[in-house]
Amino acid sequence: MKVSVSSVLPPSISMPLPIHHSRRSLLKLSSALAAGLILPKPLKAAPSAQKGKLIAYVGTYTSPLQNMKATQVDLPPGNGRGIHLFEVNRSTGEMTPCGVVEMGTSPSCLAFNAARTHLYSANETERTGDNEAGSVSAFQIDPGSGQLKLLNTVSSEGKGPAHLSVHPSGKHVLVANYFGGSVAVLPILADGSLGKATDVKVDQGTVGPRKATNAPPGSFAFSGHDQTHAHMIEADPSGHFVLHVDLGLDQILIWKFDAEKGLLTANNPPFISLPPGDGPRHFAFHPSGRWMYSIQEEGSTIVLFDYDGEKGRLTARQTISSLPPGFAGSNFCSEILVSTDGRFVYAGNRLHDSIATFAIGKDGTLTFVTEEWSHGDYPRSFSFDPSGEFLYSCNQRGDNIATFRVNRQTGHLAFTGHYTPVGNPSIIVFHDLTQGK
């Protein structure tokens, strides 16, 4: 999606690496001393006992292929070619290209079914052919090579689908149409292909203000408070409820889900509101299922919610900045992840171009630990590899993916020195061909 910053702001300033690192090192040292933490020693690469291929799939923003009737959303022409495949070195994190699925429809979000036999892509365009909507594609994964075979493509029932997920039942794909301000449920057929939507919900309500309540001092960040914008959709851990965020409405909407019929019914209450203008973008559940963390794109905050899984209710308990202490200026938050061991939250900051680490307390509350430069421009998303030893940052405007080693004890990220060139990367997901998951 396109974000706009007032013309009052100067262009991004590129600082020499020694100065940049000095500033960040000072911030880390100050944070560590304040929290009573000891900075970690660099970790050496540990050889993996696993065998077989680990494949990474990278979704990108692309330009329409020749003779294709696909209209981009309000983004510049993309540098990606479609879905890029890489073989991953398990010990070093380095990635080697091993294929491309040529697509001119900006497959910007990818999701597997639970068995990792199929991959689904949200294709972020405003029109596909004569249909004024984006689309979702289904692929079969070759179990030996990890290569993709297109099964079919169906309408997402809205413009600019920016996110999708597979329901825990394995029977439906859930898709959020950012520019359409809507969400849809697509049935997964017996062969893994997709059917026509069984339900579509169009977001309704009053759009929030251009100025975020919790924006950093001096921020001109404005992205989605011009209309309704469904930005993410995902089921809760039980699958009984489906949640989706609307950035423009500053709401997280909650639905009861009929997994047999593929129907959404408004919960009671049907939504919870975030501070006006803050713009909820993505959320992540804690492995315990007791807490959920929401990241706000324009407010640059993370909100901790207590989650009642029986009633599908959220109760806000903590709000913390995604940025280091003292930051001022414009920033757009992006991704939020919880480590698989439930000890840390990672939050992405665009313009500031960093990934922040927060420690999770026994009660779910967050404490800022440190932040690491993304080693590229505009980190749109990031993901852990299956081992949790590496984190990969998709630096959208930098046309690269940067690889970091994760210190599982402290949560710190250490750049490995590995850059992978990819045009406008948006998302990276992994498939272990040895384990089939």
What pLDDT score does 13 carry? Answer: 31
The 3-state secondary structure of 222-247, one letter per residue: ECCCCCCCEEEEEECCCCCEEEEEEC
What pLDDT score does 131 carry? Answer: 81
Flag whether pLDDT at 74 surpasses 80: no
What pLDDT score does 127 carry? Answer: 82
What pLDDT score does 54 carry? Answer: 98
| pLDDT tens for each residue of 98-112 | 999 999 999 999 999
Q: Check residues 104 and 65 and name the one with the higher pLDDT.
A: 104
Region 301-314 average pLDDT: 98
What pLDDT score does 70 carry? Answer: 66
User: Which one, of 234, 237, 236, 247, lies nearest residue 334 by Cα?
Assistant: 247
Q: Which of 20-29, 203-212, 216-225, 272-281 has the lowest mean pLDDT?
A: 20-29
CA-to-CA dists, residue 374 to 45, 92, 192, 401, angstroms: 20, 18, 36, 9
pTM over 0.85: yes
Classify 257 in phi/psi space as left (phi over 0), alpha (psi -120 to 50) or beta: beta
CA distance 414 to 268: 44
CA distance 186 to 362: 38
Flag whether pLDDT at 184 surpasses 50: yes
Proportion of the chain above pLDDT 90, given as a percent? 81
What pLDDT score does 71 carry? Answer: 66
Local confidence band at 67 (pLDDT 50, 70, 90 cut-offs): low
Residues 6+ apart with CB under 8 A from 200: 157, 158, 182, 183, 184, 185
User: Which one, of 210, 49, 188, 50, lies nearest residue 119 by Cα?
Assistant: 188
Flag whether pLDDT at 259 surpasses 90: yes
In 89-147, DSSP assigns E strands to 95-102, 107-112, 118-123, 125-128, 135-141
Q: Which of 211-215, 220-224, 389-393 has the lowest mean pLDDT?
A: 220-224
| pLDDT tens for each residue of 366-386 | 999 999 999 999 999 999 999
Q: Which of 24-28, 94-98, 102-106, 279-283 has the lowest mean pLDDT?
A: 24-28
Region 383-392 average pLDDT: 97
Q: SS3 for 304?
A: strand
Residue type (1 letter), 362: K
